[in-house]
Amino acid sequence: MFNEFKTFIARGNVLDLAVGVVIGAAFTAIVTSLVDDLINPLIGLIVGGVDFSGLSVGLGDAQFMYGNFITAIIKFVIVAWVVFLIVKGVNRMMPKKVEEPAPPAGPSDNDLLKEIVAELKARPRV
């Protein structure tokens, strides 16, 4: 069982996934800082000093923090855009797959049978 686990972990796709998760977590911290420290203040300047993180609506004892939701949407859009750009760049760098041309279509079964019959008829009878 230990050897099977070792083989499973050593497979490339598991290691790739682990690296992706770690890089994704680090990238999330960068995007959070970008949104919280740069984009939200910039948007606040444009719309008159509104801080999204403080926006909320109270309904009874419940507090709906829709400003945090707006911030999360901004973060998501930035992450999605960066991932799109990375995938697009990687796809551009990867060599194009050259599709092999399909083999030329050969004679149909009927054509082959007709040729066989013609050859049999052309043979001298013994």
* Residues 41-86 pLDDT 10s: 887 788 776 667 777 888 888 888 888 888 888 888 887 888 788 8
Q: Does residue 118 register a pLDDT over 80?
A: yes
Confidence grade of residue 105 (pLDDT, cut at 50, 70, 90): confident
Q: For residues 31 and 79, is the Cβ–Cβ distance under 8 A?
A: yes
Q: What is the pLDDT averaged over residues 24-42? A: 82
Q: Does residue 12 register a pLDDT over 80?
A: no
How far apart CA 89 and CA 87 sit, in angstroms, is 5
Q: Give the per-residue pLDDT at 99.
A: 78
**In degrees, to the nearest 5, what angle opens at C-alpha 26 toward C-alphas 21 and 31?**
115
* pTM, to two decimals: 0.51
Own/partner pairs for 80-87, CB < 8 Å, 24+ apart? 82/27, 82/31
Which domains occur in the chain, in start order? 2-122 (1.10.1200.120)
Phi then psi dihedrals of residue 64, to 5 deg: -95, 110
Q: Give the per-residue pLDDT at 114.
A: 92
